[in-house]
Structure 1
Amino acid sequence: MKLQHLFVTTFLVVTGFINAQNKEITLEEIWGGEFRQEYLQSLRSLNNGKEYAVKNFDRSSNTMNVDVYSYETGEKTRTLISSADIDGLDFFQDYTLSDNENKVILSTQVQSIYRHSTTGIFYVYDFETEKLTSISENRIQEPTFSPDATKVAYVFKNNIYIKNLSSGETIQVTTDGKKNEVINGVTDWVYEEEFAFVRAFDWNKTGSEIAFLRFDETEVPEFSMDMYGTYGQQLYPTQEVFKYPKAGEKNSEVTLHLYDVDAKKTSAVDLKKDYEYIPRIKWTNNPEVLSVQAMNRHQNNLDLIFVNAEKNTAEIILEETDDAYVEITDNLTFLNDNSFIWTSEKDGWNHIYHYSKTGKLLDQVTKGNWEVTQYYGFDATTGRIYFQSTENGSINRDVFSVRSNGKNKVQLTQKRGSNDADFSADFTYFINSYTSATMPYEFTLHKARNGKKIRDIKDNKALLEKLKPYQLSNKEFSTLEVNGNELNMWTIKPKDYEATKKYPLLMFQYSGPGSQSVSNTFYGSNDYWYQMLAQQGYMIVCVDGRGTGFKGADFKKVTQKELGKFEVEDQIEAAKKLGAREDVDAERIGIWGWSYGGFMASNCIFQGNDTFTMAIAVAPVTSWRFYDSIYTERYMTTPQENASGYDDNSPINHVDGLKGDFLLIHGSGDDNVHVQNTMQMVEALVQANKQFDWAIYPDKNHGIYGGNTRLHLYTKMTNFIKENL
């Protein structure tokens, strides 16, 4: 009897241990933050190059602090500012130091407008006088110190204002701003989304001039969205109305202006040519010379223009042309002599170039069949340029330095995977952020001169320990030969995988121009979802087809004027090749994607109906005629010029091909890819008498999140996969 009891007890202990080592991932864990990584909070290197500032929130006291730490030791040296010590301000959300670090702008009551834009109530705190000054009683945008921190420029209701912090006087620079008509100093919707900036004004080096853009969007067509609100709180829907230029439609008329701060005078700048876009303005180190990047509507001709503010003259310094399009970046950097660093794909790969102040090429700094993926900056003391690249493989990233003449290149990171760097102000140190498919983020401090590690800062070993009982599958990297190209691929195989078994296959992709979904990085939320599906017997694969990035300009730009043609061909052919493998059930291949990926998933199940048996499209573009001008025309030109490119590759025009199971999902408040896309697809499917499933998430934007929304969405998608694949 005792022996039997001992056997039962031992059996239960062993069984419990085995079960503990075979935990199943749940959607509640994924979207409840159970697997969240620890990150290094956003930091700012201080001017002395020896210290950095980090924002820290104390939940117990509801206090926000900006604390200062030593690079060398990691020890806290002081608190720069604390909301507990500021009379008249209980809390702030973010901060911006002045160039000389004697004042700080504190943001409160921040509310989002679109992807990047916000409004808020802002204050200036003077460290020397310990005085707190309200910039405006109104909700304003983009408050920005003058270089000497004596003034703040900002935008309110589409007009620019300047506040003198000494006298308290506020001057209104522009007066014609009006919603949905004229915008001064901040960008319109399409510039914000596609050129990725909001503040469209810039102080010169002495604070004597402000350059700004003016957007006349009077003739831009309006788009409206009904917002339904919370049940029981809103009887009638409200309507969001904003200017949204779709492909081929009228854009804002954008003009450049200079404001003389002392004379209180504004003058328009004649750029001498008719440009459709002005995606960047930036003062050079000469306070009288403004750099302007201006483009044609096709975005295949970019001029770098120097404007002499004193004479109000414009001169083209550099011209970039491309058969497809020219990329816009923030890499333009002016050296002390006003020569400048520039990045370009003109030799077929993205590389760094050094030009004189007159636009003469001095050196191609980097070269080779690999891409510069980030430009970090130039150290005037050593003459070295710091950058990130794919030199060690397109799915990997490493950090390098090189002299401005292209000589004496040094690799500063050694671990294979994805390395990113944050440099101190004087380029003495850098904090390396490292991750790989098997390693969550770890943060280490290094010498910028040679990459030598000084100390560990933070890691995610606790997360790795937490994940051990789940017995996750490896993410295996490989290449797949498809349509004459070696395509990058990752695979997550089912738990307890056996090569002799056949498994249902789910393919994920995004596929947009220049994108990358196959990278040597650790899990995001979707990866845990894939692991959950793998635990339930599914194989998950991702293939980066033609048109994706970091394998040269020719590979990326082959899809020009034909978005959705070669990318779809590659996914269908990849699925066929995978389906021919012994371990894949060719009768059970599904595909899913979000946004561009939803466009792709739709096209794949319609056009590859003998290959794919199931597809999920979330927030898809269903016709590029519905999407914005800047993004779409960059790759497609206009519908008036390229009607067949738009229509031949539109999922709406291929609904007759649907044979499998199709789930269509959208947020009704999506200001980016409008729900119009899904509604038009629904109507086409109905008229073709095709059965499908669909879901609309009220008032949700392109990210479809908030509250339990993501959990509900992924539960729906999981159930659809389990029922149909």
Structure 2
Amino acid sequence: MKKYIILSFLITGIITSVVAQDQKITLEEIWGGAFRTQGMDVLRSLKNGKQYSVLNFDRSSRSTSVDKYDYETLQKVETIVSSKDLNGVDFFTSYEFSADESKLMLATDVTPIFRRSRLGKYFVYDIKSKSLTQVSDNKIQEPTFSPNGDKVAYVYENNIYVKDLNSGNTKQITTDGVKNKIINGITDWVYEEEFSFVRAFEWNSNGTHIAFIRFDETEVPEFSMDFYGNQLYQTQYVFKYPKAGEKNADVSLFVYDLGNGNTEKVALNDAYYIPRIKWTNDANVLSIQVMNRHQNNLDLIFYDASAKTAKTIYNETDKAYVDVTDNLTFLNDNSFLWTSEKDGYNHIYLFDKTGKLIRQITSGDWEVTNFYGFSPKTARVYFQSTENGSINRAIYSMGINGKGKKMLTKTVGTNNATFSADFTYFINAFSNTDTPNRYTLHKAKDGKEIKEIVNNNSLKDKLKSYNLPQKEFSTITINGNDLNMWMIKPANFDPNKEYPLFMFQYSGPGSQQVSNRWGGSNDYWYQMLAQQGYIIACVDPRGTGFKGADFKKVTYKELGKYEVEDQIAAAQELGKRAYVDAERIGIWGWSYGGFMSSNCLLKGNDVFKMAIAVAPVTSWRFYDTVYTERYMQTPQENPSGYDENSPINHVDKLKGDYLLIHGSGDDNVHVQNTMRMVEALVQANKQFDWAIYPDKNHGIFGGNTRLQLYNKMTNFINRHLGDKLQEEKKELELENKVKGK
């Protein structure tokens, strides 16, 4: 009797184990947050170099706090501020310290405007007195402490204000701000999106001057979008959006003197773009980066606010374009560190304060991908690079003399560092395709790991029950180039069986999708599709990043030519493999990836059976000036480059199944792209599927939107690419049913 009981338990255990190892991923789990990773939110290193702060959220009390931790012990030292102790502030979503760390700027009631811009109510919390001061009764933008923390500058309705925290008085610095005409201290739409910044004003080092950029949008063409909402009538949003070849905002630079109240215009001659301003360590000297419209000529200018003179101290040109970064770093004597691709790869250079090159610090056939800073104490620079492989990221330090390079991380995958203020420690955020985010503390001297802070082992254990196949990294030789590729095969992969292939790509200039890091929501979707019997693959074509300037800039003036050739050729090459059904190859992408998937289906109509394009550019004539002209020049100068590679002009080639998706409230890639594509397809008498998501922006999210969207895409894939899989599934179900009988 006991033997039978034991055997029964064994059989039950085996069945349970088999079931547990075969759990299926669902879209409800993916978009319900079942696979969410834990991290460290709003991590800041404190000036003493021994402690750091983190924004924590208490779900039980629905409150937020800024907590201080010790690097050496990783123990919480104190709670600096908690919303539970603040009257009138239920919670805050971000915080910033004043330079002396005596005060905190707390953000509440924040409303997004565009990708990076926000309106919100802001409060200054005095740590010593525990007092709370509201900066303005209005919703404002970009409040920023003066260097000594006694003032706050901010923007309200396109004008700059300064609040004196001691007196409580507020002074208006500019008065000509008008919506859709004049903006002071805040970037316009295209600068925000393409130059990646919002705050266009800067305090100098002693708080006596504020430099700011003024945007005159008066002659910039307007774009409007209808928002349908839930009222009887729709509303309309109108904003300035310069499309390729059209008028940009006229930009000018000013310096305001808080002492005498005077505003001085900086003479920059023919400056077309001002993508960066930054005060040097000299309180009188402002650095300005100026570019021409083609973005292939960049001047670094020093403006002396006392002498009111401007001088170009460094110039960089490129046959294609010069990338703008945030890596400019001034040393104590105003010599500076700069990153550039001028030797073919992105590296770090040291210049003296007159702009004379002292030395190139890093070099090699690899890229510096993040510059963390310089430590005067150790005379070393700290950076992230691709030296151990273009799909990986490791952390290094190197003497400013160009010697003594040290690799500070040993884990192979993606390492991101947050250094302490004095570069004694760094917190490393690591992941790879097998390891979800893991945060560890390290010595900056040699990279030695001190202690683990956060891991996601529970998620890793949870995923074991799904028996997920590995993401395999490799290269594929296409058009004379070894292109990076990843592939996910079904867990029960049989090399003697043919599988449908579903390809994903983005392919935009300087981008990367084939990266050795823990994936996001889309990766779980790919795993779900693999569980259903699909092979998923991703190839980074020519034009993508981190393999040198020549590889990246080959697409100059021809966006959508070489990348499409590579994707089509990659699909053909993969179709030759015995386990890939060459008659069932599909492709999809979002934004630039949607532009690409559309082109691939049209130009590769004998290769791809289906494609999904989400929020695609369908003609580069519809997209903005800064991005498009950087890579294409203007449509007046390069009409063939625009038209020959835009899918809207190739609709007559459509043979396969096509799903076109867009949000009607997309301020970035306007729904105009899809509407014009639809009209072209209709007039070409082509059948296709499409969906418009009312009022949704470029991300198409909110409520159940993503869940519904991915259900729609999954159904489309199953219907047009997985027909045989569905037949096999039905046959298997019938077979099991017969066996069951």
Cα gap change, 1:83/1:637 in structure 2, threshold over 3 Å: closer, same or farther? same
Question: Offset at 1:65?
Answer: 1.3
Separation in structure 1 between the aligned mates of residue 429 and residue 95 of structure 2, nearest angstrom: 23
Residue identity in the other structure for 2:258: V
Match of 1:53 in 2: 53
Cα gap change, 1:425/1:3 in structure 2, threshold over 3 Å: closer, same or farther? closer
Match of 2:76 in 1: 76
Q: Is the 8 A contact 2:146 2:207 kept in 1?
A: yes
Q: Is residue 511 from structure 1 mapped to residue 519 from structure 2 by the alignment?
A: no
Q: Is residue 258 from structure 1 mapped to residue 285 from structure 2 by the alignment?
A: no
Separation in structure 1 between the aligned mates of residue 402 and residue 449 of structure 2, nearest angstrom: 25
Q: Is residue 458 from structure 1 mapped to residue 454 from structure 2 by the alignment?
A: yes
Match of 1:446 in 2: 442
Separation in structure 2 between the aligned mates of residue 4 and residue 67 of structure 1, nearest angstrom: 58
Q: Is residue 376 from structure 1 mapped to residue 372 from structure 2 by the alignment?
A: yes
Partner SS state of residue 587, structure 1: strand
Separation in structure 2 between the aligned mates of residue 513 and residue 270 of structure 1, nearest angstrom: 33
Separation in structure 2 between the aligned mates of residue 454 and residue 156 of structure 1, nearest angstrom: 46
Q: Is residue 209 from structure 1 mapped to residue 209 from structure 2 by the alignment?
A: yes
Match of 2:158 in 1: 158
Question: Offset at 1:81?
Answer: 1.2
Match of 2:100 in 1: 100
The TM-score normalised by the length of structure 1 is 0.98
Match of 2:598 in 1: 602
Question: Offset at 1:40?
Answer: 2.0
Match of 1:525 in 2: 521
Separation in structure 1 between the aligned mates of residue 91 and residue 126 of structure 2, nearest angstrom: 16
Q: Is the 8 A contact 2:469 2:491 kept in 1?
A: yes
Partner SS state of residue 633, structure 1: helix
Match of 1:67 in 2: 67
Deviation string for 1:348-393 (max 9, x for gaps)? Answer: 0000000000000011010000000000000011110000000000
Q: 1:583 aligns with which of 579, 582, 590?
A: 579
Partner SS state of residue 55, structure 2: strand
Match of 1:238 in 2: 235
Question: Offset at 1:84?
Answer: 2.5
Match of 1:124 in 2: 124
Residue identity in the other structure for 1:41: D
Question: Offset at 1:87?
Answer: 4.1
Deviation string for 1:28-67 (max 9, x for gaps)? Answer: 1111111111112221111111001111122222322111
Q: Is residue 280 from structure 1 mapped to residue 263 from structure 2 by the alignment?
A: no
Partner SS state of residue 187, structure 1: coil
Partner SS state of residue 585, structure 2: strand
Match of 2:193 in 1: 193
Residue identity in the other structure for 1:68: K
Aligned positions of 1:481-500 closer than 5 A:
481-500=477-496
Separation in structure 1 between the aligned mates of residue 7 and residue 285 of structure 2, nearest angstrom: 86
Partner SS state of residue 470, structure 1: coil
Residue identity in the other structure for 1:437: T
Q: Percent sequence identity over matched residues? A: 67
Match of 2:266 in 1: 269
Separation in structure 2 between the aligned mates of residue 403 and residue 490 of structure 1, nearest angstrom: 36
Deviation string for 1:530-587 (max 9, x for gaps)? Answer: 1111111100110000000000000000000000000000000000000011111000
Separation in structure 1 between the aligned mates of residue 69 and residue 354 of structure 2, nearest angstrom: 42
Separation in structure 2 between the aligned mates of residue 519 and residue 10 of structure 1, nearest angstrom: 42
Question: Offset at 1:86?
Answer: 3.0
Partner SS state of residue 433, structure 1: strand
Deviation string for 1:640-675 (max 9, x for gaps)? Answer: 000000000010011111101110000000000000
CA RMSD of aligned residues (A): 1.4
Q: Is residue 304 from structure 1 mapped to residue 296 from structure 2 by the alignment?
A: no
Cα gap change, 1:715/1:129 in structure 2, threshold over 3 Å: closer, same or farther? same
Partner SS state of residue 635, structure 1: helix
Match of 2:737 in 1: none
Match of 2:393 in 1: 397
Residue identity in the other structure for 2:445: R
Match of 1:343 in 2: 339
Match of 2:731 in 1: none
Q: Is the 8 A contact 2:542 2:562 kept in 1?
A: yes
Q: Is the 8 A contact 2:369 2:386 kept in 1?
A: yes
Deviation string for 1:247-268 (max 9, x for gaps)? Answer: 0000000000010001011111
Match of 1:592 in 2: 588
Residue identity in the other structure for 1:413: T
Residue identity in the other structure for 2:547: K
Separation in structure 1 between the aligned mates of residue 108 and residue 96 of structure 2, nearest angstrom: 12
Separation in structure 2 between the aligned mates of residue 8 and residue 107 of structure 1, nearest angstrom: 60
Match of 2:33 in 1: 33
Q: Is residue 357 from structure 1 mapped to residue 348 from structure 2 by the alignment?
A: no
Question: Offset at 1:12?
Answer: 5.2
Match of 1:291 in 2: 287
Separation in structure 1 between the aligned mates of residue 172 and residue 70 of structure 2, nearest angstrom: 42
Match of 1:623 in 2: 619
Question: Offset at 1:123?
Answer: 1.4
Residue identity in the other structure for 1:420: N
In structure 1, stretches of 5+ residues that fail to align are: none
Q: Is the 8 A contact 2:42 2:94 kept in 1?
A: no
Structure 1 residue ranges (4+ consecutive) displaced by more than 4 angstroms after TM superposition: 1-13
Question: Offset at 1:718?
Answer: 0.4
Q: Is the 8 A contact 2:664 2:693 kept in 1?
A: yes
Return 82-91 or 240-249, whichever deviates more: 82-91
Deviation string for 1:51-103 (max 9, x for gaps)? Answer: 01111122222322111000010101111112222345443222111000111
Q: Is residue 16 from structure 1 mapped to residue 16 from structure 2 by the alignment?
A: yes
Separation in structure 1 between the aligned mates of residue 168 and residue 312 of structure 2, nearest angstrom: 40
Return 423-432 or 11-20, whichever deviates more: 11-20
Separation in structure 1 between the aligned mates of residue 346 and residue 507 of structure 2, nearest angstrom: 19
Question: Offset at 1:2?
Answer: 11
Q: Is residue 170 from structure 1 mapped to residue 166 from structure 2 by the alignment?
A: no
Match of 2:727 in 1: none
Separation in structure 2 between the aligned mates of residue 87 and residue 29 of structure 1, nearest angstrom: 38
Match of 1:651 in 2: 647
Residue identity in the other structure for 2:382: Y
Partner SS state of residue 128, structure 1: coil
Q: Is residue 697 from structure 1 mapped to residue 683 from structure 2 by the alignment?
A: no
Q: Is the 8 A contact 2:475 2:484 kept in 1?
A: yes
The TM-score normalised by the length of structure 2 is 0.96
Residue identity in the other structure for 1:239: Q
Separation in structure 2 between the aligned mates of residue 392 and residue 358 of structure 1, nearest angstrom: 35
Match of 1:569 in 2: 565
Residue identity in the other structure for 2:374: F
Q: Is the 8 A contact 2:52 2:70 kept in 1?
A: yes
Match of 1:471 in 2: 467
Deviation string for 1:112-157 (max 9, x for gaps)? Answer: 0000000111111222333222211111111111101111100000
Partner SS state of residue 629, structure 2: helix
Question: Offset at 1:275?
Answer: 1.6
Partner SS state of residue 465, structure 2: helix
Aligned positions of 1:531-550 closer than 5 A:
531-550=527-546
Separation in structure 1 between the aligned mates of residue 169 and residue 496 of structure 2, nearest angstrom: 78
Separation in structure 2 between the aligned mates of residue 619 and residue 416 of structure 1, nearest angstrom: 34
Partner SS state of residue 447, structure 2: coil
Residue identity in the other structure for 2:256: Y
Separation in structure 1 between the aligned mates of residue 223 and residue 522 of structure 2, nearest angstrom: 32
Separation in structure 2 between the aligned mates of residue 288 and residue 319 of structure 1, nearest angstrom: 22
Q: Is the 8 A contact 2:225 2:237 kept in 1?
A: yes
